[in-house]
Amino acid sequence: MRLSQIRDFLAVAETGSIRAAARSLGLTQPALTKSLRQLEAELGTVLVTRSVRGIVPTTPGRVFLARARSIDGDLRRAREEIAQLGGSPDGSLAVGASTAPAIGTVPRAVVELRESWPSAKIRVSDTSFPNVLADLREGRFDLAIAPRFGPAPLPKDEIAVELLFNNEVVVAVRKGHPKALAKSLRELAGCEWLRSGPRGGPSTVIENAYEAIGLAPPECHVQCESLLSLPEMVAMSDFVAIMPWQMLALPESRGRLVRVPVREILQPIAINLLTRAGVPLTPIAKDFVEILRGLARKRR
């Protein structure tokens, strides 16, 4: 198996077209088709098939696609690492970040990183658990900063996890809400709650808090999995929601949302650094991790 065959397969899978893939690679269509067929013959299976949507991977093709992306990403990182060890200021870094660290920690870390790597290309993307695991495995991210939600166990042989900090969550309502000054969750039991984040996400904190005081968790008829839409939905209604404290500090939230001063202690959300186990970080990624750790120590 040649690296060029992996490159050719990736181009076909990502463009969905032999013609477009050949054009992007500077190859003729017959040459690209021959490369793809040779790869399929070596693997003993059909990797792509034609459909109304164009060229799409088969089931074995999707499995191989994940590995091919990982290989391609590792090769890119290897080239960059060698160049960076030789003194090159160039390179790239792809970071996945959930909402809370994306609002505060990650922007500061990127600004600080730019002082040492002014020529590097840095990409920060939204992510959430468990989607982040596939993004890391396939090399779309060099690292990620995100909480872990849900009962699914982490694949410890594939993903390394390091706790950065515990992020405070708060109960929030619109300014002028009739329960804005509630001192206990009991006073909010009859309110309409908005479930925030994915299943197993921040709302689980409030469910656990209600169970701790012997009350049934409030029913939630509306679920908002977009944490960036959450402040607006709360500000426009009588919903009660739980959210990272950083969201109340956003410009669009100031003067519109308030923290409800309940006496119960809410379980914080553990924000983790996620990397691929056993895969060394490039110099730029190592520097970024050290910056994140320094910011986390200041928070603690």
Identify whether residues 61 and 177 lie together within a single domain.
no
For residue 76, being part of any structural domain is answered with no
For residue 51, being part of any structural domain is answered with yes
Q: What is the pTM of this model?
A: 0.69
| Residue 84, Ramachandran bin (φ over 0: left; ψ between -120 and 50: alpha; else beta) | alpha
Q: Could you say which DSSP state residue 46 is in?
A: -
pLDDT recorded at residue 273:
94
Identify whether residues 34 and 124 lie together within a single domain.
no
The per-residue pLDDT for range 74-131, each reduced to its tens digit, is 787 777 778 777 777 777 899 999 877 878 899 999 999 999 999 889 999 988 777 7
Identify whether residues 257 and 275 lie together within a single domain.
no
- Total structural domains within the chain: 3
Helix locations, the chain, DSSP H:
3-15, 18-25, 29-43, 59-85, 99-103, 105-116, 131-137, 203-212, 230-235, 283-299
CATH number at residue 12: 1.10.10.10
Q: Are 141 and 102 in contact (CB under 8 A)?
A: no
The per-residue pLDDT for range 29-74, each reduced to its tens digit, is 899 999 999 888 988 999 988 887 788 889 988 888 888 888 887 7
Q: How confident is the model at residue 201 (pLDDT cuts 50, 70, 90)?
A: low
